[in-house]
A = this chain, B = another copy of it.
């Protein structure tokens, strides 16, 4: 007994699920699913006992030589679901198996058709290892934000957050599965009593996870990646991040089966993992391996620190997720993270724009924006959030619950995003960072030099280049990263060799600048 349906991340109509006891496949337009969309099999099986523990269900999807084993999950009320996101166009067939009546030997097929507009596929790390790209080749220039418990708020509050995001520059959202601030939804597990600790880790509450995946899909509809934080140290009273290993494994398998098919999903194993005292590094290593094995969609995986960096060279880590405000006060410390991790780096937490007393929540807008720029010049990516004291936002801060943005950085991050999107593919590469050029881009094509809080009235227009390397002509633009202006400079710079290390135009060695902070110069080859 199987029913298929199709989630449409981009926001168009999803097919209804035909419930009941007859085998059927509900697909749109003759049984098609768009590439990187979601194909869902719905099965009916036992509702008694504890299906979360007792029942296993999975499907094998096949297309040509490709065969994908996809685990399913129990969604309550005797309903079992298997979700699969087809990576390739063409005819896919599927067969189910399970260890309970009604779950085995269901069969079906669908056509994977071209993706709808706006569906670029899941984000992957680029082949060079340091940037991000959608499956269709579209670069993903990460401009992240964090609202830890936004997804657990009221429908009205969630709608407000989504409306804010629709007009904001952010394309990745960090969000916790478990609540860390006051929330409407607080019970991922079935409650067994009135106390905060009275819940059964072996029984998920499907409604909680259904609500959460609704938020994941709505972010997807806005083109925003959902960087889902699986564990965090802020729910010690409830203890959701302090379960036993067996409970942790069951939880990871559940979310992997339930959410892994959403193409905008990223896994963040933990926030501030090193504050979770009930787990060791060996525990985290193990959990990563469990997650990796449980997720046939192989979504991005990272883990976020407070004091102690996790070893991001480990093979299950796709990119480094770093908390460190000092790392983005210049391009050199930012770039060093690439050198050490050997992977793409996102500074997911660099302190926040705000005015609370805590030192981690009182960056000026200028500092928040500069952190993004220094990270960019270091060849890395940065995350934003806001922590304005109560009253500036209706009910708690953007960091905790979402809602409205009241800071000054977001429009400037939109400006940065535009600069990135106009820049080289797949991203901005650091250029001889260790030699203090404070410059990035693509050698012999594109150079971005950032001045931070200096107030230069002149810049020596020199780019790195050794004798024998090609010499080109460049046009320059002055970018005011705070006032969001791009001012073209008249004429061109015709480079010649200048000493052993630089190229410079002997007739035009310098460029006048307006003597303000937060300037950048962009050089593009003519």
Contact = CB atoms under 8 A, between A and B. Distances in A.
List 8 tightest A-B contacts by C-beta distance, closest first: A340-B340, A326-B434, A309-B339, A333-B333, A326-B332, A336-B336, A311-B313, A332-B333
A182 B215 CA distance: 69
A481 B188 CA distance: 59
Contacts of A313: 311, 313
Interface string A469-510: 000000000000000000000000000000011000000000
A117 interface: no
A435 B351 CA distance: 11
A436 interface: yes
Given A313-B311, A336-B333, A336-B336, A359 B325 contact: no
B340 A309 contact: yes
25 contacts: A309-B339, A309-B340, A309-B342, A311-B313, A311-B342, A313-B313, A324-B434, A325-B435, A326-B332, A326-B433, A326-B434, A327-B332, A327-B434, A330-B332, A330-B333, A332-B333, A333-B336, A336-B337, A336-B340, A337-B340, A340-B341, A357-B500, A359-B435, A359-B500, A359-B501
Contacts of A337: 336, 340
Interface in A324-382: 324-327, 329-330, 332-333, 336-337, 339-342, 357-359
A327 B333 CA distance: 8
A435 B340 contact: no
Contacts of A329: 332, 436
Interface in A424-462: 433-436
Contacts of A340: 309, 336-337, 340-341
A382 to B, nearest CB: 15
A340 B435 CA distance: 21
Nearest to A340: B340
The CB with the most chain B CB atoms within 10 A, among A327, A340, A341, is that of: A340
A358 B311 CA distance: 35
A339 B342 CA distance: 15
A332 B350 CA distance: 14
Given A325-B435, A340-B340, 7 more contacts: A309-B340, A326-B436, A329-B332, A330-B330, A330-B333, A333-B333, A359-B501
A435 B342 contact: no
A372 to B, nearest CB: 18
A500 B358 contact: yes
A433 B336 CA distance: 16
Contacts of A435: 325-326, 359
A367 to B, nearest CB: 12
Nearest to A358: B500
Contacts of A326: 332, 433-436
Contacts of A434: 324-327
A332 B341 CA distance: 17
A313 B340 CA distance: 10
A341 B308 CA distance: 11
A318 B308 CA distance: 19
A342 B314 CA distance: 14
Contacts of A433: 326
Interface string A51-85: 00000000000000000000000000000000000
A433 B333 CA distance: 12
Nearest to A308: B339
A43 B8 CA distance: 81
A358 B435 CA distance: 12
